[in-house]
Structure 1
């Protein structure tokens, strides 16, 4: 396992994937899952690590999410080194995309976040879900495009718009710290995921790593619960 982690460390240190794609509406650069995999393949061969990606569908609240799992295996031993998960939710509808294309785009989005999480590529600056524009159908009917690529085609408005974060981004941040998104929302706001407002989501993502922010608040709450539980058990024993 130690040797496998060293291989993974070397790959993460050498992997460089530029954000060479452009979203002209949101005015930001991004990369997609295919870009990351292209950069990974020669390093997989060099260090003897195989990367596998699997998708599952999970019901969270009243919505279905694509859960992508990226697993790294030591090619010499076959042992699992590490895995990382990420979630993305399908939109209820998207002009110019049929159901198959919508699922494929959502899968690509979740896979990008899972790959970024495993190799510390930091997807935070991609701002994948900033657009609120009227959508223009421009999709090749036989191609699954990523959500980033689809958004890049939507260039109709030219006014500056406020940036918002998506609930998937919040869930993925929490999940990469081993925190269930549902528990995270409940502790922070006393709400179910489906009841979070846009302000709730933006605040949680923007202040996730701040001192006294969302992550610190959640971990502090869990620590207090654990201490209270331990105290109650001790009192019951000494009863």
Structure 2
């Protein structure tokens, strides 16, 4: 393996990173029993990427920093790859809010959970790992909003009440999407919550009121799941 590093260490950092992004396969090796879905942890990504880093002459460094934004406490995680030959570095950051309290968890456990979550999404960004390939994404919310607006302008067949309800639903979906981005929630986690909390398959099946309730409680409910097995 040392000989492989020797032949790869002269590669520019972006060429090496491109090779890793192309070859990396990070399976979802964990199961959330509360939500009934599989997910990949930070440790799953690290286990899969370490041999590729070695082959491409890169070192991975993970760093945490506590930050306060608008009075809220976050863990800022930075994932960096460093070229062992040139010292060139490429980094990605991600944030996870640290809950003030969670039943059954100490403060150090809360901080550790936020750190693991933020590191996972920093690694996702650095290595182009997509955890959001389903309907519960910002792209879906945008397309839903555009489709609804297009249908109204083309057919003009909605009553004023129906149009108002459609606008409210679009706003509720957009609010959920923004909250998902803020807390770093994946579509799988949101779909699982839809099943657990509302008995629905995903957010498309929720009422406007349920969408608003999900957005308002998203962070707390995800923390609840994480405390119960994530």
Question: Is the TM value for this pair above 0.5?
Answer: yes
Aligned-partner Cα distance in 1 for 2:214–2:76: 19
Contact 2:97 2:183 in 1 (8 A): no
Residue pair 2:29, 2:41 contacting (<8 A) in 1 also: no
* Alignment partner, residue 10 of structure 1: 19
Partner Cα distance (2:214, 2:13) in 1: 36
Following superposition, the deviation at residue 23 of structure 1 comes to: 1.1
- Once residues 14 and 73 of structure 1 are traced to their aligned partners in structure 2, the CA distance between those partners, rounded to angstroms, is 18
Indicate if the aligned counterparts of 1:68 and 1:86 stay in contact, CA closer than 8 A: yes
Q: Which has the higher helix share?
A: 2
Show the counterpart of 1:210. none
For residues 176-218 of structure 1, what are the alpha-carbon distances to aligned partners after superposition, in whole Å with 9 as ceiling and x for unaligned?
A: xxxxxxxxxxxxxxxxxxxxxx74995xxxxxxxxxxxxxxxx
Report the RMSD for the aligned CA atoms in angstroms: 2.8
Aligned residue in 1 for 2:172:
none
TM-score, normalization by structure 2 = 0.55
Q: Is the 8 A contact 1:72 1:83 kept in 2?
A: yes
Determine if the alignment matches structure 1 residue 115 to structure 2 residue 127.
no
TM normalised by structure 1 equals 0.53
What are the within-5 Å matches in structure 2 for residues 207-226 of structure 1? none
Write the distance in 1 (CA, Å) between the matches of 2:133 and 2:104. 27
Does the 8 Å CA contact 2:80/2:92 hold for their aligned counterparts?
yes
Q: What is the CA-CA distance between 1:91 and the residue it aligns to?
A: 1.2
The answer on 1:58 being equivalent to 2:70 is no
Look up the match of 1:79: 88
Task: Give unpaired runs (5+ residues) of structure 1.
Answer: 128-163, 174-197, 203-239
**Structure 2 unmatched ranges of 5 or more:** 1-9, 137-175, 186-210, 216-230
